[in-house]
Amino acid sequence: MKKSGILNADISRVLSYMGHTDTIAIGDCGLPIPEETERIDLALVKGTPSFMEVLRAVAADMKIEKIVLAEEIKEKNPTVLNEIMELSTGFETGFKIEYVPHDELKQRTKACKAVIRSGETTPYANIILQSACLF
Beta partners for residue 64, in sequence order: 131
Residue 12 in any domain: the answer is no
Report the CATH number that the domain containing residue 39 is assigned in CATH.
3.40.1650.10
Residue 14 in any domain: the answer is no
Residue 9 in any domain: the answer is no
68 given a catalytic annotation: no
Residue 54 in any domain: the answer is yes
CB 112 within 8 A of CB 24: yes
Q: Active site residue: 7, 9, 12, 20, which one?
A: 20
Q: What pLDDT does residue 94 have?
A: 73
Return the closest-CA partner of residue 46 out of 64, 28, 58, 34: 28
Spell out the alpha helix ranges (H) of 61-123.
73-76, 78-88, 102-108
Beta strand residue intervals within 8-95, DSSP E:
23-27, 38-41, 64-70
Question: How many structural domains compose the chain?
Answer: 1
The binding site consists of 28, 102, 124-126
Residue 25 in any domain: the answer is yes
Q: Residues 39-53: pLDDT tens digits?
A: 999 999 999 999 999
Residue type, 82: N
Q: What pLDDT does residue 19 have?
A: 97
Residue 16 in any domain: the answer is no
Residue 64 in any domain: the answer is yes
